Amino acid sequence: MSTGRKYLLRNVAPYGGDRTTVLLADGVIAAIGPDVSDDDATIIDGRGLVLLPGLVDLHTHLREPGREDAETIRTGTRAAALGGFTAVHAMANTTPTQDTAGVVEQVWRLGREAGWADVHPIGAVTVGLEGERLAELGAMAESKAQVRVFSDDGKCVHDPVLMRRALEYVKAFDGVVAQHAQEPRLTEGAQMHEGVVSAELGLAGWPAVAEEAIIARDVLLAEHVGSRLHVCHLSTAGSVEIIRWAKSRGIDVTAEVTPHHLILTDELARGYDPTFKVNPPLRTQRDVEAVRAGLADGTIDIVATDHAPHTREDKDCEWGAAAFGMTGLETALSVVQETMVDTGRLTWADVARVLSETPARIGRVADHGRPIAVGEPANLVLVDPAVRRVINPDEQATKSGNSPFRGRDLSGCVIATFLRGRATVLDGASCDEDVVVRA
Ligand SMILES: [Zn+2]
């Protein structure tokens, strides 16, 4: 898979620690040490930049097949590379749905052909995300795509019997059910978080309990059948408490938080800008503090983007008619740095854990999220934490402009991304295979 080009990363700081030099050759980390050199390698002067394992996203919407006007596997994975990701898990709510071996193999193959980041398709739990009967979970697991994560994301598997069967079924191939926790009856017509702001604006509310009730039920189901459960985009203080309780009982549950739930609140709905309309909704400052604390103490295992590109037609309309979702691949690392590293709550080694190692482990991706060590696959990202940049979605690689950070400045910047030793990003810009790299 490697092009044969070698890279010598001089003066880089693995996990933000001591500076060293890292040689990438033949798709792997070939040598590490202050005196490493190679006359044939392209030299990158690291200037003390932070070197991390390539990021792994457990929750991306690539929209292909079906909504190529909003994103394609090619544009979405190029955005991923620019955000420092070397692997992404593609959610199943495509058209057709990723609920058969044929569709997941197609998505997997298109990811390989695009070459920007490895694409691991997520399989639907139920046929057509209809919540009525289980999809062909075993066939998807045995396909070339080797699906290990199953989700009806966008919709909740709300039938407890179906959820139980799915949890039991995936044990056969070490899979995991990733639940979008939303009690449907409690959220009918919901437009934003139910609270003071929704009451003032007169918008139908999405109460915290609609998320917490499903998480509580599902951790008990997971315990009952002895399966593992993953909770998508946890967003409330109460959800953090439930996960903390479940882990203290030894229940095999993992949880993710999105970058936007780490930094934005429901106060943003006051401007009626549908860019800030998302599911689950932006919550209160108290919830933001709780998810930050949960991520810092390990109750929340990972950060996942829930990158949800939407066309202008689906977003530039009145709040009630607009689609739920925001983009996130190209800003996720900056938001984590700003909210968790710059505030002293996480180290860079912790960032490697929550954005690479643990998501790879949950998704059973063998060759990503690996240690920075000789012989390991050269899936890496080089980060400059010292710069601040203003976010302009019109200059991003994603096809859609619905970033909640438009015009806002954020910490840090991805300088280079390597996928099996090949640079997908250099000098902060994406590079095609045929790019002429400076000597
Ligand atoms: Zn979701």
Q: What is the DSSP string of 73-107?
A: HHHHHHHHHHTTEEEEEEPS-SSS-S-SHHHHHHH
Q: How far apart are CA 215 and CA 98, in angstroms?
A: 24
pLDDT computed for residue 435 by the predictor: 38
pLDDT computed for residue 431 by the predictor: 87
439 pLDDT above the threshold of 70:
no
239 belongs to a structural domain: yes
396 belongs to a structural domain: yes
Q: Percentage of the chain with pLDDT > 70?
A: 98
- Please give the distance, rounded to the nearest whole angstrom, from the Cα atom of residue 201 to the centre of ligand 1: 24
Instruction: Tell me the mean pLDDT in the region 394-407.
Output: 96
Lowest mean pLDDT across 45-49, 158-162, 286-290, 405-409: 45-49
Q: How far apart are CA 180 and CA 230, in angstroms?
A: 9
> Catalytic annotation on 306?
yes
pLDDT computed for residue 178 by the predictor: 98
User: Which H or E element spans position 169?
Assistant: helix 160-170
Q: Which of 333, 362, 391 is the last residue of a domain?
A: 362
- Please give the distance, rounded to the nearest whole angstrom, from the Cα atom of residue 317 to the centre of ligand 1: 22
- Please give the distance, rounded to the nearest whole angstrom, from the Cα atom of residue 50 to the centre of ligand 1: 31
- Please give the distance, rounded to the nearest whole angstrom, from the Cα atom of residue 374 to the centre of ligand 1: 37
pLDDT computed for residue 2 by the predictor: 45
Residue 26 sits in the same domain as residue 167: no
- Please give the distance, rounded to the nearest whole angstrom, from the Cα atom of residue 180 to the centre of ligand 1: 5
pLDDT computed for residue 432 by the predictor: 73
pLDDT computed for residue 433 by the predictor: 55
Q: Which pLDDT band holds residue 239 (cuts at 50, 70, 90)?
A: very high
What does the mean pLDDT of the chain come to?
Answer: 96
Residue 26 sits in the same domain as residue 74: no
- Please give the distance, rounded to the nearest whole angstrom, from the Cα atom of residue 280 to the centre of ligand 1: 7
pLDDT computed for residue 438 by the predictor: 32
Q: Which of 362, 396, 421 is the last residue of a domain?
A: 362
Q: 118, 287, 306, 384: which is the annotated catalytic residue?
A: 306
pTM of the model: 0.96
3 pLDDT above the threshold of 70:
no
CATH assignment of the domain containing 40: 2.30.40.10
Using one digit for the tens of pLDDT, what is the confidence trace for 107-131?
999 999 999 999 999 999 999 999 9
Instruction: Tell me the mean pLDDT in the region 203-232.
Output: 98
Domain limits for position 391: 7-51+375-430
CATH assignment of the domain containing 263: 3.20.20.140
Q: What residues have a C-beta under 5 A from ligand 1, the ion?
A: 153, 180
